[in-house]
Every structure is written in C-alpha cells, then in structure tokens.
Amino acid sequence: MSESNIDIELSYLRKKIDREKDARKQAEVLLENKSTELFDINQRLQEANQQLDVIVTRRTKALKATAERVEITSDELQNTVNRLSLVLDVANAVTWLFNVRHQTMDIAGKSQSLLGIEPTKAIPADDILSRIHKDDQVQLTEELGFALKEGKAISLRCRVMSRNGSYRWFLINGELSSFGAKRSLCVIGSCIEMHEQVEREREVWRMANHDALTGLPNRNHFETQFNALAGESFVSGEGFTLALIDINDFTQINDTYGHRTGDGVLQDFADILRGYSDHATHIARLSGDEYIVVFKNNIATWSAHELCQKLIDECATMSIQDGERLGLSLTMGLAVFPKDGGTMDDLMQSVYSAVQVGKQKKHIGSSCVLYNSSIERERFRERDIRSALKAAIEHQSFDLAFQPIMCNQSRYFVGCEALFRWPDMGGQWDIQEVIDVAENSGLILDLGEQVIDMAFSKLSHLSDMGVKKWVAINISPLQFQFQDVPHIISKALIKYNVDPAMLVVEVTENIFLENITRVAAVLGQLTKMGVRVAIDDFGSGYSSLRYVQSLPLDKIKIDKAFIDNVGSSAESQGIVNAVINMSHSMNYKVVAEGVETEEQLTALKEMGCDFIQGYLFSKPLSFDELIKLDDFSASAPLVLKTHLGRTL
C-alpha cells in the first residue's frame, strides 16, 4: 500500500471516527433527553398510581359499606315480608291481584281459612265475583271500573262467601298498579275480615234509626229515606203518594187500658201496616201515634186512597191482646210528591194540613183526606195570619173588647169578658180563626201574656174609678200546658195592685185532655190566690162532668150552641136545665152565652140561670164605651146579691 493510500485511508478513518464521535455525542444527548423524559413519565406514573390507590381504597370502602347496607336491607325486607304475612294472618286478610289483561285473580294470604280458596294464581275473575253477595256485586264492579278508568282507590265493605258457605263482611281495599317485567296493568289490594265489627255497627245504626217498640224506621231514618226517594223521583219523573196516619185519642187508650196494652196496640198496628208492604216502599213511625206510609210510585193516588180506606176498616175491628174489641180510629192525610210539596218539609206540611181537616171531622170517627187546592188556600191563609200575628205580637198592636155580663136577677151588669181584638186585622179574618192559628202555632203563649197584661191594666183602671166589676179573661189550654199561669197572674196582680176577686179565668173543657191531676193543682193554686175560675163553652167539647165535680170552679158558661135553641127546642132546653141544676147542686153559678132573644132570656130566667151574656144586652165594647155604661160608672152598686145569696 502506498503512502498516499495510507494517508487517504487514515484521513478516512479519522473522519469516520469524528463522525462516530459526533454521532455518539448526539446519541448521548438524545439518551440524556430521553432519560429525563422517562424520569418525568415515571414520576407521573408514580403519582397516578398513588391517586389510584387512594381511589381504590375509597371505592373499596364504599363498596364494603354498600354491601353491608344491602345485607341489612335484605334482612329488613325479609322481616317486613314476615311481618306482613303475620299481619295478614292476624288481620284475617287475603291479598289479591287482578290481572286486567287476562281478567284473572291471584289470591294469597289466608284465603283458605277465610274463603275456602287455596292461595292460587290466575283464577277467572268471574269465579271470585260470583262469591260476592249479589247486593254488593254492582258496587264492587263499579269501584273496580273507577279504579281502572280514573285511578281511584277502592275501599268498600261487602259480603263475601266464607269457607262454610255463609256470607261474611269484608273490607276490600285496592288500587291501580303494574306488575312483572312487562309492567302489566293490575289492581292490587287486600280483603280483610271484619264481620263482627260491621255487624256491631249495623246493630248500633239499626237502633239509632228504628223505633224500639215497633221496629219501624224512625223519623230520622225516614228523612234520609225520603231524600233518596225524592232524588230518584226527580230522575225518573215519577211522583209518589205519601200518607200520614194519626191514631185518634191514643192517650185515652193508654189511660183506659194502661201503657203495656197501649204498647201492644202500637205493635199490632205496626204489624197491620207491614201487611201493606206489597204496596208501599216505606213505612215509618214518626212519633208516638203518627205513622207514614209511602206508596209505590206505580200506585195511583185514588188506589192509595182505597188502600187507606181498607186500613181504616181493618183497624176499626182491631182487638187488644186478650181479644177485647178495641176499634182503632185513624185520621189520615194523603199528599202527592212533588205536586203537593217538593221537599220533605213542604210535603209533610201538606199531609199535616190534610190530617188537620180530617181532625175537624173527628166526630165521624176515622177519616182519610186527600190534600187539595182548597186545603192549600187554607194553609196559605193560615200562613198569612201567622206571619201578620207574629209581627203584631212584636209591636203589641192589639186591643181588648169588653162584653158586659148581666146578673139575671138584679138586671145589673156585674162583670165583663175581655175579648182579644186586632185593629189592623181588617175584615179578612175573624177572631176565632186568629185564635185557632195562634193556638196551632204556639203564638198564643206570647199573645196570651199580652192579653193578661192589658186586661189587668183595664182592671186597675176600673178599680181606680172605684168600680167593682169582675173581668173575665180567656186562657188557652196551651198556656196551661206550657206556662206557669198562676205565676204570670200573681205577677200581674202585684204589678197592677188589683183585687184577685175581680178576676175570672175562663178555661175550656179541652184542658181536661191534659193531665187532670196537674190541671186540678193549677186551678187550686189560682183559687187559693182568690182568683175565680169559669169553664167556658161548656157542653161543646170533651165531656167532663166527672172532672167538673172535682175541680175548684166558680162558674160554668153554657155554650152558645145550646142557648141558640132554648125557647124553641125542648131538647136543648132540657139539656140547659140539667146543666143549670147540676151546676147549682155543685154550688157553681151559670152563665148563658150568646143570648140574642127575649124568648131565650125568659126561658133562662125561668130555669134560674145566674148570668146572661149576649147581643141582647150588649155586643163587646171598647173600654171607653164600657165605662160610659151606667153600671160601670162609679155610682153603680158595688155589691150585688144573687138569688143564691152569694156575694158576687
């Protein structure tokens, strides 16, 4: 090899070495860079690892906690399931699920012991429905329908056939839900046995709504029945006829035969009414002797009237328990819904008005009156009087008229009767009518107190004038029944400082319809106070000779109806004569009312009647007119002697 070749070779090698050196340097720099990068990566990896560790630890912890909770929850769930099945057992309950799509039922719980059905799935729903009492089926299917359509919860009591084939009460609850993976529509619920509780409640309800003696629905229950009936009637457009039955003089049956027999009569009567069940939708007992029959709406009013007549005939031959014939007399009123009243109050008012009309014909025994337009007019008339009277009582816009009473022997006026007058009344009503309305409505109580006060004020006026004439005031039986009449009168005696002997209290025979012992005691109190008592309208009402004898009376006033025929009818004359003799034998004086003719006066004088009151001598006068009469002047004789020699 030549030198130049060697040099070339050498230079080449050197260059190669240099290149390699450079390359190595670059590689070293690269390596250094890479190792720094690697270090960084390593560093980050380490950090990430640490974070992962933290997360893993945390997650592990959380998972552990969740696992524990799941364990607890599943225990609780198991407990709940156990408790639930225990509750179902204790509560005698069955659970059910109605599969809407398949129309089947799943039954679980105590179905075997309660219903005699094994807990089972997918029984046709109709099989279950057929075990529900037929009266409850409609309501149950309706409630199921509501649950499905409107999502309403079901809750109803119904009778379900039990294991032994009898129906028992269950409470059925349920609500719309879904089940299974497909979330199929269902109604799910429970069926809880509550037979004893429902039966107890029904018994309490029965007692509260039925009359204990006859077992018939009472007024309270009838009101509910009526409202339901009225509602149905409005929907169907068909009316119905209602009868109110009042047993006449039932207190007399009690008084004569005793309460035990009275109760038996009412029970028998209720049984007779039940015999009309084929024609009636409702039969009820409203009060002691008042009953209601509602006739089926396909029964025409005239047939209802015929049925009432049949009932009247049946009761007329009724006998009491030991076979004695009793013959119950009835007053019946009939009215038609809604023609004669669209509410219970209105319809009842109509039948009461019809009964009232029947009562006025009481002397003919039983009666059955159909409400009609003239009764309606009468009712409106009564209503008008009542409201006008009420206002007049508030404004005290009354007056009194005074009708002088003549001593038959001396021919002097010895006293007068104070008669209620109502100046604003006009000519449309008469006093008797107004008094009757006042009595029927109870307004007579307030009115009577005002009359007493006015009469006393006039009495004190007379006494201030030095006139010693008695004033008679009319006291209604209702006042005796509901007010302490002796107390009211003694207060007035003190207030007006008048002599009690100048007061006569007139009472009608009707007060004897009340408790006679009490009546005697009250009249005794009045007599003790020095007030005198007269029996008014004697002979027109309740025949009471045996009571009259035992009472502390001063006068008997013979009713105008008997006086009218004195002098023309031997029979009337005979009666009047007998009453005068009887009264005198009991030391009572006699006043003849409504004397209009000289013939009557002559006859009465011959019979020894003590006092005469009537148009023959004077009509009722205003107080001013009264005191202008000679006898009512201060100079008139103060003390008169009767033919019996008693001081008046």
Binding site for Ca ion (CB under 5 A): 474, 506, 536-537, 593
Shortest Å distance, C-beta 429 to Ca ion: 19
Residue 588: helix, strand or coil by DSSP? coil
**Selected binder of ligand C2E within 174, 341, 404, 614 (CB under 6 A):** 614
**Separation of alpha carbons 536 and 40, rounded Å:** 134
Q: Where are the alpha helices (DSSP H) in 406-482?
A: 431-441, 444-464, 477-482
- Number of Cβ within a 10 Å radius of residue 580: 21
Q: Which is nearer to Ca ion, 439 or 593 (CB)?
A: 593
Binding-residue total with ligand C2E (CB under 6 A): 20
Q: Which listed range, 36-44, 95-103, 589-597, 634-642, lies at the site for ligand C2E (CB under 6 A)? A: 589-597
**Selected binder of ligand C2E within 87, 171, 188, 431 (CB under 6 A):** 431
Q: Which listed range, 200-208, 333-341, 428-436, 511-519, lies at the site for ligand C2E (CB under 6 A)? A: 428-436
Tokens 């009412």 belong to 266
Q: Which listed range, 6-14, 189-197, 378-386, 592-600, lies at the site for ligand C2E (CB under 6 A)? A: 592-600
Distance of CA 358 to the CA centre of its chain: 25
- Number of Cβ within a 10 Å radius of residue 409: 16
**Selected binder of ligand C2E within 537, 538, 551, 588 (CB under 6 A):** 537
**Separation of alpha carbons 538 and 522, rounded Å:** 19
**Selected binder of ligand C2E within 179, 380, 542, 615 (CB under 6 A):** 615
Q: Which is nearer to ligand C2E, 247 or 595 (CB)?
A: 595
Q: Confirm if 463 and 501 have CB atoms less than 8 A apart.
A: no
**Residue 493 interacts with ligand C2E (CB under 6 A)?**
no
Q: Which is nearer to Ca ion, 136 or 537 (CB)?
A: 537
**Separation of alpha carbons 527 and 520, rounded Å:** 10
Please calculate the CA angle 596-597-599 and round it to the nearest 5 degrees.
145
**Residue 482 interacts with ligand C2E (CB under 6 A)?**
no
**Separation of alpha carbons 151 and 384, rounded Å:** 55
Q: Confirm if 559 and 538 have CB atoms less than 8 A apart.
A: yes
**Selected binder of ligand C2E within 143, 289, 536, 610 (CB under 6 A):** 536
For residue 424, give Cα distances in angstroms to 160, 391, 395, 416, 510.
Answer: 70, 11, 11, 24, 29
Residues in contact with ligand C2E, shown as a per-residue x/- string from 443 to 462 under the rule CB under 6 A: -----x--x-----------
Buried b (16+ CB within 10 A) or exposed e, 312-325: bebbeeeebeeeee
**Residue 573 interacts with ligand C2E (CB under 6 A)?**
no
211 interface partner picked from Ca ion, ligand C2E, none, CB below 5 to 8 A per type: none
Q: Which listed range, 23-31, 141-149, 204-212, 593-601, lies at the site for ligand C2E (CB under 6 A)? A: 593-601
Q: Where are the beta strands (DSSP E) in 268-374?
A: 280-287, 290-295, 330-337, 367-370
Q: Which of 121, 124, 125 is nearest to 111 (CA)?
A: 121
Q: Which is nearer to ligand C2E, 333 or 614 (CB)?
A: 614
225 interface partner picked from ligand C2E, Ca ion, none, CB below 5 to 8 A per type: none
**Residue 620 interacts with ligand C2E (CB under 6 A)?**
yes
136 interface partner picked from ligand C2E, Ca ion, none, CB below 5 to 8 A per type: none
Residue 473: helix, strand or coil by DSSP? strand
Q: Which residues bind ligand C2E (CB under 6 A)?
A: 403, 419-420, 431-432, 435, 448, 451, 474, 476, 536-537, 593-596, 613-615, 620
